[in-house]
């Protein structure tokens, strides 16, 4: 078991530790926990107990993948090809739905904002494409071309997938996909000199989408005003005391105001158990108009696992980035001499997934946790095989 495996193991051990601490505190503390103050009937919510135990299955998933990759049983080239093919199919289906009103399965557009394609009522198409479309940039038939044709194909793929993500109506994946592409350009010495050209192309794609799609205009405008409202209220916190009084301000504003509520919920919950947190999925038991999670990985980890759990995750992320981006001489070398094309798509997903300034789903839910630990197991396996690292 290498260094990174030990950190992952320690993280899962700590989830059980914080469960035991909060369980004992619920029974022996003179101060009622916040889930009891919210009217929850159980002294300690049983859902926190079984969520913690079931979360351990992701450590097993991590270890199984580590063994399969180290023994060369799992072919990552086939995995990458499958991801690229599936992402292409999803994107084509979304465009088909946009043009003809229905996708190939007969699903129609969801509301006025979303083309979800094969996902139907599950509005996750944008997030799916944002992650798995990256593999198409690094498929063998692309990489074997000369620089001009390789760059041309990758640019076409980018335009194709960014259009599909825009149509999906998922706004944050659009920004994250652009961020991924820019990180890739900056890390590739052969493409870095064309940074300005790619920037112009991205601006043209976004401008064209804005002019051609009413849905995109609505999403862009809605995103802008919500972000403006959120930033304004964080800088000038006029609703700072409303959460503590049990008021919900969600109905008084758009999604920006809703995310503001989650921000103040997080601050209130975090202060109740700074070092150990309240336990996995404990955020949902707080009253005051809060959601089931704070829509940010780091906020959720801080509220559920406290500063100690947050420090473990932050240490793992820092050490993994250091291992990938630093050579043995400890000098930063942001290039594909350090990050080769085999590692690059997994690295980009990792960087974007742990990008701090973003909204996200829950770190502890099935879909997100599965992707996170698959990516981590593959990245750790790949860098442990590289003699240059």
Cα torsion 246, 299, 345, 198 to 10°: value is 70
Which residues in the chain come in under a pLDDT of 70? Answer: 1, 29-42, 112, 209-260, 287-289, 327-339, 386-389
- Cα–Cα distances in angstroms (integers) from residue 331 to residues 49, 164, 323, 338, in the given order: 45, 39, 11, 11
pLDDT for the residue numbered 251: 41
At residue 33, the pLDDT reads: 62
In 10 A of CB 274, how many CB atoms? 11
User: How far is it, in rounded angstroms, from Cα 313 to Cα 46?
Assistant: 25
pTM of the full structure:
0.84
Distance of alpha carbon 171 from alpha carbon 281, whole angstroms: 26
> Hunting for tokens 């002294």 — which residue is that?
43
Query: Please, is 270 exposed, middle or buried when counting C-beta atoms within 10 Å of its C-beta (0-12, 13-18, 19+)?
Result: buried
- The pLDDT, as a whole number, for residue 388 is 40
Q: Which residues of 51-90 are buried (b: 16+ CB within 10 A; e: fewer)?
A: bbeebeebbebbbebbeebeeeebebeeebbebbebbbeb
Provide the token pair at 237: 């916190």
CA-to-CA dists, residue 180 to 87, 162, 300, 354, angstroms: 16, 11, 23, 12
The pLDDT score that the predictor gives to residue 248 is 44
| pLDDT given at position 63 | 95
Q: Exposed, middle or buried: residue 16 (CB in 10 Å: 0-12, 13-18, 19+)?
A: middle
| CA atoms of 218 and 326, how far apart (whole Å) | 43
The Cα diameter of the chain in Å comes to: 70
pLDDT of residue 252: 45
């Amino acid at each position: 078991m290498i260094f990174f495996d030990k950190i992952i193991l320690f993280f899962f051990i700590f989830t059980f530790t914080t469960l035991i601490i909060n369980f004992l505190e619920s029974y022996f503390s003179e101060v009622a926990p916040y889930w009891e103050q919210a009217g929850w009937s159980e002294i300690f919510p049983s859902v926190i107990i079984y969520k913690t135990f079931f979360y351990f299955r992701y450590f097993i998933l991590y270890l199984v993948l580590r063994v399969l990759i180290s023994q060369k049983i799992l072919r990552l080239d086939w995995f990458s090809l499958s991801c690229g093919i599936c992402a292409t199919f999803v994107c084509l289906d979304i465009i088909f739905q946009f043009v003809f009103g229905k996708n190939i399965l007969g699903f129609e557009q969801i509301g006025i904002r979303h083309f979800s394609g094969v996902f139907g009522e599950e509005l996750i198409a944008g997030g799916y494409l944002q992650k798995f479309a990256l593999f198409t940039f690094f498929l063998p038939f692309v990489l074997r071309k000369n620089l001009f044709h390789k760059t041309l194909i990758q640019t076409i793929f980018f335009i194709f997938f960014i259009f599909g993500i825009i149509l999906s109506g998922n706004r944050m994946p659009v920004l994250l996909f652009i961020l991924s592409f820019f990180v890739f350009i900056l890390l590739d010495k052969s493409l870095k000199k064309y940074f300005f050209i790619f920037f112009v192309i991205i601006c043209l794609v976004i401008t064209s989408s804005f002019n051609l799609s009413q849905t995109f205009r609505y999403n862009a405008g809605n995103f802008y005003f919500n972000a403006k409202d959120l930033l304004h209220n964080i800088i000038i916190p006029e609703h700072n005391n409303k959460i503590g009084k049990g008021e919900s301000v969600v109905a008084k504003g758009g999604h920006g105001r809703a995310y503001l509520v989650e921000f103040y919920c997080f601050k209130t919950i975090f202060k109740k158990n700074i070092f150990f947190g309240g336990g996995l999925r404990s955020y949902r038991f707080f009253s005051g108009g809060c959601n089931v999670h704070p829509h940010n990985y780091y906020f959720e980890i801080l509220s559920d696992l406290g500063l100690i759990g947050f420090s473990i995750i932050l240490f793992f992320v820092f050490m993994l980035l250091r291992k990938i981006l630093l050579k043995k001489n400890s000098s930063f070398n942001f290039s594909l001499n350090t990050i080769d094309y085999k590692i690059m798509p997994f690295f980009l997903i990792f960087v974007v997934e742990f990008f701090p300034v973003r909204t996200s789903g829950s770190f502890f839910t099935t879909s997100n946790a599965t992707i996170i630990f698959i990516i981590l197991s593959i990245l750790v396996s790949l860098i442990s095989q590289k003699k240059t690292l």
